[in-house]
Chains A and B, each alone.
Chain A
Amino acid sequence: MTRSFGKTFLRTLVGRAYPRLIGLWREKSWIIFDVFFPLLQVSAYVYIYRAVGAPPEFAGFAVLGGAMIAYWMNVLWSMASQLYWEKETGNLQLYLIAPTSRMAILLGMALGGLTATTVRAAGVLLVGTLLFHVPLQVTDGALFFGVFVLTMVALYGLGMLLSSVFLLWGREAWHLSNLFQEPVFLFSGFYFPVRALGFWVAAFASLIPITLGLDAMRQLLYPRLMEKFRFLPVEAELAILAGLSILFLFLARLGLRFFEDLARKEGRLTLRGQ
């Protein structure tokens, strides 16, 4: 029974990740759009910094922020809103009657999305760095990798949690995802050090894992400059990210069950065009 469950879980996970990976290579023009579009915004922010005579490291802030935005957008539009899209296209009921774990579906979505987004983010980082001669030198590679991995686990855990919450909603899901763009770019400090917002605002914004991830990565890339701007020591941010990872994955599991039951009772699972 357990072995069969494990096998089904794994097959579901791979099955749900597959279209995201294969989609990346099948429609190659997406890569151009996904790299080119964020670069427009990143370039504009680099020029804003240049206009006020900021040190070149600030261009690095903008480029790194622009690359990390790809992950946040993926979490918003391809994790949180995904079950809404599936509802709209009539796939959701197929997911629900499939004899498999919903967590496996969400994990597959997350893994596929994460891999595909990494290609885009790497593109933004590479082109942005070359285009604007951004100084990028990691002071501790292992720590940097650890911060990145934990940020992603926590972030996609949050995406899985939001995905279950969004199960209830119709067009609200679309608009809320829309709403979570600029305000989150602001509060998570995508384009400037989050410390500038003040300690308590930054602490609140740390509920979104990218806030801490970005701050830690900037500290590891620009240690001297970040002495003035760091929010918390890297080790503390790493520990909080680990805690958030466990918390969000646990809440996603609870939330999925709770909101699915609620959506069934309220008859919202098959409502389209709400």
Chain B
Amino acid sequence: MKRLREAWQGFKVGTWLGWQIESNWTEPFLFAIYSVIKPVAGVLILVFMYLVVAKGGLANPLFPGVFLGTTFYLYVVNVLSGISWSVHDDREHYGMLKYAYMAPMHFYGYLLGRGAAKTLIATVSVLITLAFGMGILGVPLRLHNPGLFLLAFVLGLLALSFYGILLAGISLLIARHGWVLGDVVAGALYLLCGVAYPLSLLPLPLRALGYVFPPTYWFEALRLSLLGQGLHPEFSRLSSTDLLWILGGSTALGIGLSLLVFKVSERLALRRGLLDMQTMY
């Protein structure tokens, strides 16, 4: 019970601090614009690629699935990079990681809280991008299966948060590459998880890797629930329940792995005196 209370305390503080760091560098209005421009620009790159070359332009049957994948991918970037970056940022830039670690709160909860702040920002961006897609681009979005959406959404976010914790653990041990770690992993997931094209286009070894990661099933479940159809023909034989089981199972494995990696990294960082490392990177 005490550990739970400490975890909650850490989560609350992490969320508050994360929100302040992300948002208080400017006026709320400018921050809102900033939060919208980046994701919409990312989606518009795809829109123009389709307009230039795809048969039928935005009416191409692949486009809705690609749009949805790209929009929800915003969570991947924000949550993964957000959590791992917070270790680098706190330690290297603000020199306060050791204080956060010593405080009477659960460090794990604190890191999840830092991710929650980024999730909040990503949620606003996702909602605006979805509205843009429906209103301007004519993407036929509606809730085909609310239960599937809700369960898949929560499971996916959980998986991403714990992947973020795993990367945060690795960040505790490295200095020079810590700031790109989250972005590199998020970039790899974009390539491997069939965010913007059918997985069947990838060479077999890369496709096999794509089948291992939960976000692949997450994106597909979200497509099924919001578009009524998926993007990957090889999943067409899977029912919604199958997808949820696979997503749930791979998420549980991911959580276990992240706990293990973080614990080992934490112990190593303590032993090697890395918690207050400052390398000027």
List chain A positions with a Cβ less than 8 A from chain B.
Answer: 27, 29-30, 33, 36-37, 40-41, 43-45, 47-55, 58, 88-89, 170-172, 175, 178-179, 181-183, 185-187, 190-193, 196-197, 229, 273-274
Interface range, B side? 35 or more
Residues B184 and A37 in contact, CB atoms below 8 Å apart: yes
Q: With A and B bound together, what is the CA distance between A193 and B197 in angstroms?
A: 21
List residues of B (142-198) whose CB comes within 8 Å of A's CBs.
176-177, 180, 183-184, 187-188, 190-191, 195-198
Closest to B96 in A: A273
Residues B53 and A52 in contact, CB atoms below 8 Å apart: yes
Residues A51 and B197 in contact, CB atoms below 8 Å apart: yes
Q: With A and B bound together, what is the CA distance between A185 and B54 in angstroms?
A: 20
Known: A48-B196, A52-B60, A179-B37. A196 touches B201 (CB 8 A): no
Residues B41 and A183 in contact, CB atoms below 8 Å apart: yes
Residues A196 and B190 in contact, CB atoms below 8 Å apart: no
* Partner-binding segment picked from B8-16, B44-52, B99-107, B241-249: B44-52
19 pairs from A and B in contact (CB 8 Å cutoff): A29-B177, A30-B176, A33-B180, A43-B191, A44-B190, A44-B196, A48-B197, A49-B53, A52-B49, A53-B54, A170-B25, A178-B38, A179-B37, A179-B38, A183-B37, A183-B38, A186-B42, A196-B48, A196-B52
Residues A37 and B49 in contact, CB atoms below 8 Å apart: no
Closest to A41 in B: B187
B202 is an interface residue with CB less than 8 A from chain A: yes
Chain A residues within an 8 Å CB radius of B190 = 40-41, 44
List residues of B (186-241) whose CB comes within 8 Å of A's CBs.
187-188, 190-191, 195-198, 201-202
Q: With A and B bound together, what is the CA distance between A47 and B207 in angstroms?
A: 12
Known: A172-B25, A172-B26, A182-B38. A37 touches B45 (CB 8 A): no
Q: With A and B bound together, what is the CA distance between A182 and B45 in angstroms?
A: 8
Chain B residues within an 8 Å CB radius of A89 = 280
Chain A residues within an 8 Å CB radius of B50 = 52
B66 is an interface residue with CB less than 8 A from chain A: yes
Known: A37-B184, A175-B34, A185-B41. A51 touches B198 (CB 8 A): yes
B267 is an interface residue with CB less than 8 A from chain A: no
B29 is an interface residue with CB less than 8 A from chain A: no
Chain B residues within an 8 Å CB radius of A187 = 41
Q: With A and B bound together, what is the CA distance between A187 and B41 in angstroms?
A: 9
Which one, B26, B39, B48, B201, contacts A51 given CB within 8 A?
Answer: B201
Known: A33-B184, A175-B34. A48 touches B66 (CB 8 A): yes
Q: How far is the CB of B164 from chain A (nearest CB, A)?
A: 18
B2 is an interface residue with CB less than 8 A from chain A: no
Closest to B25 in A: A171
B55 is an interface residue with CB less than 8 A from chain A: yes
Q: With A and B bound together, what is the CA distance between A41 and B196 in angstroms?
A: 11
Closest to B22 in A: A175
Q: With A and B bound together, what is the CA distance between A27 and B184 in angstroms?
A: 18
Chain A residues within an 8 Å CB radius of B54 = 52-54
B62 is an interface residue with CB less than 8 A from chain A: yes
Q: How far is the CB of A66 from chain B (nearest CB, A)?
A: 11
Which one, A30, A44, A183, A186, contacts B48 given CB within 8 A?
Answer: A186
Residues A48 and B60 in contact, CB atoms below 8 Å apart: no
Known: A183-B37, A185-B41. A175 touches B201 (CB 8 A): no
A40, A49, A193 — which one has the most chain B CB atoms within 10 A of its CB? A40
Which one, A27, A183, A192, contacts B49 given CB within 8 A?
Answer: A192
Closest to B60 in A: A52
Which 8 A-B residue pairs are closest in the complex by CB-CB distance?
A52-B54, A40-B187, A51-B197, A171-B25, A182-B41, A183-B41, A54-B53, A186-B41
Which one, B45, B180, B183, B195, contacts A185 given CB within 8 A?
Answer: B45
* Further pairs besides A49-B49, A193-B52: 9, Cβ < 8 Å: A44-B197, A45-B49, A48-B66, A52-B49, A88-B93, A183-B38, A187-B41, A191-B49, A192-B45
Q: With A and B bound together, what is the CA distance between A187 and B48 in angstroms?
A: 10
Residues A40 and B184 in contact, CB atoms below 8 Å apart: yes
Residues B52 and A47 in contact, CB atoms below 8 Å apart: no
Which one, A52, A58, A190, A192, contacts B55 given CB within 8 A?
Answer: A52
Residues B176 and A27 in contact, CB atoms below 8 Å apart: yes
Q: With A and B bound together, what is the CA distance between A229 and B51 in angstroms?
A: 12
Closest to B199 in A: A47
Q: With A and B bound together, what is the CA distance between A45 and B37 in angstroms?
A: 20
Closest to A53 in B: B55
Q: How far is the CB of B71 from chain A (nearest CB, A)?
A: 13
Closest to B189 in A: A40
Chain A residues within an 8 Å CB radius of B93 = 88, 273
Q: How far is the CB of B50 from chain A (nearest CB, A)?
A: 7
Residues B187 and A196 in contact, CB atoms below 8 Å apart: no
A183, A193, A274 — which one has the most chain B CB atoms within 10 A of its CB? A183
Closest to B51 in A: A196
Residues A58 and B34 in contact, CB atoms below 8 Å apart: no
Residues A197 and B48 in contact, CB atoms below 8 Å apart: yes
Closest to B206 in A: A43
